[in-house]
Amino acid sequence: MTSELEQKIVDGKARAGVVGLGYVGLPLAVELAASGLHVTGIDVARAKVDAINAGRSYILDVPGERVRELVHQGQLDATTDFAAVSGLDTINICVPTPLRKTREPDLSYVIGAIDSLLPHMRPGQLLVLESTTYPGTTDEVVLPRLRSVGLEPGRDVEVAFSPERTDPGNKLFDTRRIPKVVGGCTPVASSAARALYGRCIDHVVMVSSPRVAEMVKLLENTFRSVNIALANEMAMMCDHLGIDVWEVIDAAATKPFGFMPFYPGPGLGGHCIPVDPHYLTWKARAEGFEPRFIELAGQINAAKPQFVAGKVMDALNDRRKALRGATILALGVAYKRDVDDVRESPALDVMSLLIDKGAEISFSDPFVAEVELRGKKLKSVALDERVIAGADAVLLLTDHTSFDRPAIAAAASLLIDTRNAFKGIAGDHILRV
Ligand SMILES: NC(=O)c1ccc[n+]([C@@H]2O[C@H](COP(=O)([O-])OP(=O)(O)OC[C@H]3O[C@@H](n4cnc5c(N)ncnc54)[C@H](O)[C@@H]3O)[C@@H](O)[C@H]2O)c1
């Protein structure tokens, strides 16, 4: 039987709320609003709230025009005031889940958001956690908090977990086309959450519980971390054996079944892949299971920036130059192509290691204006022939599409490429690592 809440969602009469308007929350808020629901975004960051209410976007993948239109139509608004929660029917939580310095899960944002929601929640609402977290979080962290204010899950409120799979910068898969996994605490919660996501996502995949949905996300990200580690170890092994790893992977990728190419790089980056597997490790250990793959992958990926820094030093050495005092122009600091996100970016690790050795580092990134390294602010420089030719080494760390590869290759005296961005461009001065 369709619940009253589900019917409201299907009829477009439900009022939706999204807590945490970042890379995950803002795109979701926009899609739900575009589907015809009235959406209120809630964030502690006043600047984000003001931007949305002024019809501006601060996320590359969300066009400002869309935000403007939805705000103008009265479909979307934002606030820092959690009192708005009492007027909502559905609430999606999309706040950060980082690691503590000890590499243990830091659920303080999730707990903070829930504690801010609780005084304003009422029976009849659907709460969906989207933040990536260890299996058991919904059952062990969210439900007890609801019960502590007398809201019994399954009786008063409905609760589900649905991991986010957004891939910033990916033009092929926007929110609508990425299937969404959902696990509700009860059949009613599952059904209501399916109806909510079904408004703006083509394919909603139901699983039997929040715990399974939580684990799905961690399997996906662990899969990437482990396979990238394999590619990174292959790269270091091939370097040792004098084999071009890129040629090997490209040839292996011609196998039409049983092989999926993963590529090496300067290390592992982004808010998710380097972080999320540690949520799983922590939980598994807490339950007495020792996960080995995740740890090994983490160690190999973490060693890659050091390997790249060593390669830069060797290349300069071959040209009778010391790393100390050498001018190095880093191309790209974002953690991956065509995004403006520098969280956990391995480019920053490589640059910091080079600074530690006395190199003079500058960088150019069309998406990132400034970074802070070893306590010093560096501003992105405009790329021109003089800047490129003036560097003792040019080090490609992020393969942004807009980099003019032939021009860079022609102007650089030494070019070290960590992403195979200069594939097909020949030259003794180009080194692929
Ligand atoms: N960025 C991605 O590509 C991606 C992909 C999949 C999953 N995730 C997961 O989604 C979650 C959110 O990540 P993100 O990249 O959107 O983070 P983000 O930092 O871009 O955004 C989080 C937002 O939450 C806000 N916030 C923090 N505490 C709050 C509180 N108590 N109340 C209200 N708002 C609060 C912050 O101000 C910020 O705007 C994380 O668990 C992350 O692991 C991220």
What's the mean pLDDT in 390-395? 98
292-318 and 210-241 helices cross at what angle (nearest 10)?
A: 30
For 125-166, how does the pLDDT look when each residue is reduced to its tens digit (9 = 90+)? 999 999 999 999 999 999 999 999 999 999 999 999 999 998
Instruction: Report residue 167's pLDDT band, with 50, 70 and 90 as the boundaries.
Output: confident
Q: Is there an atom of ligand 1 within 6 Å of 43 CB?
A: yes
What's the mean pLDDT in 411-416? 98
Residue of 164, 216, 340, 344 with the most ligand 1 atoms within 8 Å of its CB, for mutation: 164
Cα 384 from Cα 362, distance rounded (Å): 13
For 278-336, how does the pLDDT look when each residue is reduced to its tens digit (9 = 90+)? 999 999 999 999 999 999 999 999 999 999 999 999 999 999 999 999 999 999 999 99
Q: Is there an atom of ligand 1 within 6 Å of 109 CB?
A: yes
For 344-370, how does the pLDDT look when each residue is reduced to its tens digit (9 = 90+)? 999 999 999 999 999 999 999 999 999
Which residue's CA lies nearest to atom 43 of ligand 1? 132
Instruction: Report residue 175's pLDDT band, with 50, 70 and 90 as the boundaries.
Output: confident
Q: Is there an atom of ligand 1 within 6 Å of 279 CB?
A: no
What's the mean pLDDT in 55-63? 94
Is it the case that residue 55 has pLDDT exceeding 90? Answer: yes
CA of 271 to the centre of ligand 1 (A): 9
Q: Is there an atom of ligand 1 within 6 Å of 277 CB?
A: no
- Other beta carbons less than 10 A from residue 52's beta carbon: 25
Is it the case that residue 1 has pLDDT exceeding 80? Answer: no
Q: Is there an atom of ligand 1 within 6 Å of 29 CB?
A: no
What's the mean pLDDT in 411-418? 98
CA of 130 to the centre of ligand 1 (A): 9
Is it the case that residue 24 has pLDDT exceeding 90? Answer: yes
Q: Cα-flanking dihedrals φ and ψ of residue 51, to 5°?
A: -60, -45
The reported pLDDT for the residue numbered 101 is 86
Which residue's CA lies nearest to atom 31 of ligand 1? 113
The reported pLDDT for the residue numbered 42 is 98
Residue of 18, 23, 117 with the most ligand 1 atoms within 8 Å of its CB, for mutation: 23
Distances in Å between the Cα of 349 and the Cα atoms of 204, 266, 418 are 38, 9, 14
Q: Is there an atom of ligand 1 within 6 Å of 41 CB?
A: no
Which residue's CA lies nearest to atom 32 of ligand 1? 113
The reported pLDDT for the residue numbered 283 is 97
What's the mean pLDDT in 416-423? 97
Distances in Å between the Cα of 236 and the Cα atoms of 73, 301, 304 are 54, 11, 8
CA of 46 to the centre of ligand 1 (A): 15
For 218-264, how does the pLDDT look when each residue is reduced to its tens digit (9 = 90+)? 999 999 999 999 999 999 999 999 999 999 999 999 999 999 999 99
Residue of 18, 19, 26, 43 with the most ligand 1 atoms within 8 Å of its CB, for mutation: 43
The reported pLDDT for the residue numbered 103 is 87
Catalytic residue list: 272
> What is the pTM (predicted TM-score) of this model?
0.93
Distances in Å between the Cα of 378 and the Cα atoms of 179, 302, 352, 369, 399 are 39, 24, 12, 9, 20
Q: Is there an atom of ligand 1 within 6 Å of 161 CB?
A: no
Q: Is there an atom of ligand 1 within 6 Å of 96 CB?
A: yes
Q: Is there an atom of ligand 1 within 6 Å of 312 CB?
A: no
The reported pLDDT for the residue numbered 238 is 98
Percentage above 90 pLDDT, the chain: 95
Which residue's CA lies nearest to atom 26 of ligand 1? 20
Selected residue with higher pLDDT from 170 and 284: 284
CA of 368 to the centre of ligand 1 (A): 19
Instruction: Report residue 22's pLDDT band, with 50, 70 and 90 as the boundaries.
Output: very high
The reported pLDDT for the residue numbered 171 is 82
Task: At 159, list the tokens.
Answer: 């609760």
Which residue's CA lies nearest to atom 33 of ligand 1? 43
> Is-contact 163 181, C-beta < 8 A?
yes
The reported pLDDT for the residue numbered 235 is 97
**Which atom of ligand 1 lies closest to the CA of 110?**
31
> Is-contact 316 357, C-beta < 8 A?
no
For 88-130, how does the pLDDT look when each residue is reduced to its tens digit (9 = 90+)? 999 999 999 999 988 899 999 999 999 999 999 999 999 999 9
Is it the case that residue 63 has pLDDT exceeding 90? Answer: yes
Whole-number average pLDDT of the chain? 96
Q: Is there an atom of ligand 1 within 6 Å of 22 CB?
A: yes
CA of 27 to the centre of ligand 1 (A): 11
